[in-house]
Amino acid sequence: MNRPQAAAPIRISIVTPNFNMATYLGETIRSVLANRTPQDEYFVIDGGSTDSSVDVIRRHEADLTGWIAEPDRGYPDALAKGFSRATGDVLCWINSGDLLLSGTFETVRRIFATGDVDLIFGDDFYIDETGRVLRFSRGHVGDIAAAMLHGGWTPLQDACFWTRALYDRVGGIDRELHFAADYDLFLRMVQVGRTRHVPLAFSAFRRHAGQKSIADQAPYAQEREQVRAREFRAAGDAPLAGALKRMFHLNANRIRSRLAPRVWRRPDLAGRAVAELPCACYWPRRGDAR
């Protein structure tokens, strides 16, 4: 009697774009390798750094699937290079400086094995330069497609995972964008894919001096509005209906951003070394890992 074969395990491919972030790059790489199993892939794409980033990469190259160090046109170009080499079932990226929590890949693999979701978005922690928790950040939103399109909301990028099939379906990341390529990619994916918020912290976003995401807030917002305008035209809403949707979701997002730090506080975790915190449910406070 032939026994049914077990399904092949979900393979995860992760990309880290890097440019002159040698100070934190090694810690990022180690957080990914601690989650990785032999079937997973990890690519580090360096944009021609002038610091010691390449030395850091070389120290870990035996454990990497591949790496590149050459000038590029910015992080979307670096990500496109990485994802074009990836062959995994599920994709994600973690910027140099940010961290994956222990147990993340095991949990993500289990979620996608159900076959009923194309993109998941979760929670994360804000950490300081030394890796200690500044605050917990909850990524929940009711209707992500509406919140993104009409409210300009963006999920926590480091806590997002999606299928290769969905990435290919929307045409991948846009190399021509310079600042809001993450918003654009997620917006296109959530409009056509089955999405789900998972109440688990998957990662940590590091705040540090000279952070590009802070310095580029104005051009990011400008490019995001260009993307939204394109999608508004494609949606073809009547002017009044479109205006009402935008007003509602913009105000909802503003209220959320003001209330979130108060409602979803975890002061008991502030100052903790994030390396001590596994992928788990941190809201409500008594939640356990799932």
When pLDDT is averaged across residues 279-289 and rounded to a whole number, the result is 69
Strand partners of residue 124: 137, 203
Residue 91 pLDDT greater than 50, yes or no: yes
pLDDT in tens, 3-44: 555 578 899 999 999 999 999 999 999 999 999 999 999 999
When pLDDT is averaged across residues 261-290 and rounded to a whole number, the result is 80
Instruction: Return d(Cα 123, Cα 37) in angstroms, integer.
Output: 23
- pLDDT band with cut points at 50, 70 and 90 for residue 216: confident
For residue 263, the one-letter residue type is V
CATH architecture of 12-276: Alpha-Beta Complex (3.90)
The pLDDT, as a whole number, for residue 75 is: 95
Instruction: Return d(Cα 230, Cα 84) in angstroms, integer.
Output: 25
pLDDT in tens, 154-181: 999 999 999 999 999 999 999 999 999 9
The pLDDT, as a whole number, for residue 247 is: 72
3-state SS of the chain?
CCCCCCCCCCCEEEEEEECCCHHHHHHHHHHHHCCCCCCCEEEEEECCCCCCHHHHHHHHHHHCCEEEECCCCCHHHHHHHHHHHCCCCEEEECCECEEECCCHHHHHHHHHCCCCCCEEEEEEEEECCCCEEEEEECCCCCCHHHHHHHHCCCCCHHHEEEEHHHHHHCCCCCCCCCCCHHHHHHHHHHHHCCEEEEEEEEEEEECCCCCHHHHCHHHHHHHHHHHHHHHHHHHCCCHHHHHHHHHHHHHHHHHHHHHHHHHCCCHHHCCCEHHHCCCECCCCCCCCCC
- pLDDT band with cut points at 50, 70 and 90 for residue 286: very low
Domain coordinates of the chain in residue numbers?
12-276
User: Looking at 22-31, 39-48, 126-135, 248-257, which range is the least confident one?
Assistant: 248-257
Q: Which of 87, 14, 22 is nearest to 51 (CA)?
A: 22
CB 112 within 8 A of CB 163: yes
| Backbone dihedral angles phi then psi of residue 133, each to the nearest 5 degrees | -70, 130
- pLDDT band with cut points at 50, 70 and 90 for residue 138: very high
- pLDDT band with cut points at 50, 70 and 90 for residue 183: very high
- pLDDT band with cut points at 50, 70 and 90 for residue 233: confident
The pLDDT, as a whole number, for residue 165 is: 98
